[in-house]
Structure 1
């Protein structure tokens, strides 16, 4: 069977099953709109650890363990972990996987990493290389701010277009057999860069990549937006979400009725996240909590998750480079 479809997409011959998920959040996430859809909530952003980075490693380790425990299995059943985070050299992920001691492929897609881990994991399972893998991603507000912008202790004022990096992690167990929704198709994104240089303006920077991947998914698979009960992007926030709707409308497609952004779903307006949530954990906690539960309850049967990532670094920003962005899509169906 020809698995590649069109220019950038894959249709899986034996759709890997998402047999379990788990997520964790910090106190701000627990007080948000989806507080009831977390497996674990921390009382603070350190969780009795000595650094924010160690806390992030703990979160990633915890969700992978929880996801495999929820399907009454042992950690040794996971043949490979596909995971990543936002920090230099995947710092938090590497220390988490040191503790887990499982075969591991580190991935960096910035905030698209959850979708990327599921895409890569699905390819490995559908290809017959593994029977059970984990896809996971994490981010930590304070650790990310320290690396990319300013130490949180400075209390730097954020512009209205800025977003709040989610403190959390999510993990999904992908299996060759079992019960649950399956990953039926995926579209690998390509880098889109329209020249935005303001690292507070990540939603507008990533929106063109999200629209590009969605459009390519439609062209490659023939699945119109109405094929899906819902289409989710990862962390565009309110500004980026509006831009995607506008771009798709210019292409002759109205997606407003079945399109939402995970970054608009996490925090309440009074929590002052400004334009919404961001970070690897934005799509990770929403998919591994709320979206997965809605699929299991069959309130939705077909969803498309488009992970969105801003691929800049502190070095590229200091060298005044623009922001290269990417988006990867995975179709999940009951």
Structure 2
């Protein structure tokens, strides 16, 4: 039996039957709703507890809302969906699993730290391209208050934040993949490798993730033969201002100048000076809401045609940090094009 190989180069898959992103939904917290991208989000919460008794339950409710609403936009029922791919930052990805229990949809739970939006979209797209599904949902979430007390300090502690630190985005983004219609389609998936250059400072995760972003973007260009100018936007996930600047400099060393195309979701979601978010935003929800809100709407309006979404993640845990471990990084890239 002859099987047509879809993998090109070392890390990239070229999708022969590109799935289409037929709907998206983005829900964010009050702080994100005060930022420069507020007009692009579908829902802005007035209460970041969502009326729940804990921030963890609130985050799960956000994801449930994002999934439910993107299904409504697509005019689909949960019985129409073949698979749900989702993940978050919390232990045992409870935001995703507790949201998934409210749906009767086969579920893949994922953990890629803040890279999870591109990870879920990558795997969902491959499933679609392989002919294993008619419709798939990919979703991701994070919440400032649930992540802060898990990874850093109790909220009541009120510690001073370093200039290199980032503000975890409160938000959830979800999307539906289908086969038909005039929608943006996923054309390439470049899976990242874990990179660790010895960074230990949990308050400077942009520096920890930048080498992974560089490795994945360079691999994407080498595998596909594409160059930076082939994209209108190259959007990294949540490197923040410092990580974005470092990535640009490192890309120069590989012979790629991406400054004209490069934006970082964590840098643009907040007005960092006015909102006191230091280096910018972070969290699974960061690239999720910037893509499903801002970038997707620009694609649909044909204001841009080609986006390379490169969600980045710091693969740390509270245990590894307390044991003095370094912070490995990961980045996954997805090419999305509006024909």
TM-score by length of 1: 0.99
Could you give the per-residue CA deviations for residues 304-334 of structure 1, whole angstroms, max 9, x where no partner exists? 0001000000010011000011000000001
Is 1:323–2:327 an aligned residue pair? yes
CA distance in 1, matches of 2:104, 2:91: 21
Give unpaired runs (5+ residues) of structure 2.
none
CA distance in 1, matches of 2:182, 2:61: 28
Partner of residue 295, structure 2: 291
Partner of residue 151, structure 1: 154
Partner of residue 177, structure 1: 180
CA distance in 2, matches of 1:216, 1:254: 15
Partner of residue 44, structure 1: 47
Could you give the per-residue CA deviations for residues 252-279 of structure 1, whole angstroms, max 9, x where no partner exists? 2211111100001111130000000000
**What are the residue-to-residue correspondences of 1:201-212 with 2, within 5 Å?**
201-212=204-215
- CA RMSD in angstroms comes to 0.8
CA distance in 1, matches of 2:336, 2:50: 33
Partner of residue 278, structure 1: 282
Provide the secondary structure at the position in 1 that maps to 2:24: strand
TM-score by length of 2: 0.97
Residue 153 of structure 1: CA displacement?
1.4
Could you give the per-residue CA deviations for residues 203-256 of structure 1, whole angstroms, max 9, x where no partner exists? 000000000000000110101111111100000000000001000111122111
Residue 137 of structure 1: CA displacement?
0.3
Partner of residue 228, structure 1: 231
Could you give the per-residue CA deviations for residues 85-112 of structure 1, whole angstroms, max 9, x where no partner exists? 0000001111001112311000100000
Moved over 6 A (4+): none
| Comparing 6-15 and 171-180, the one that deviates more | 171-180
Give unpaired runs (5+ residues) of structure 1.
none
**What are the residue-to-residue correspondences of 1:188-203 with 2, within 5 Å?**
188-203=191-206
Could you give the per-residue CA deviations for residues 2-54 of structure 1, whole angstroms, max 9, x where no partner exists? 31000000000000000000010000010011111111111122121100000
Residue 177 of structure 1: CA displacement?
2.3
CA distance in 2, matches of 1:44, 1:203: 29
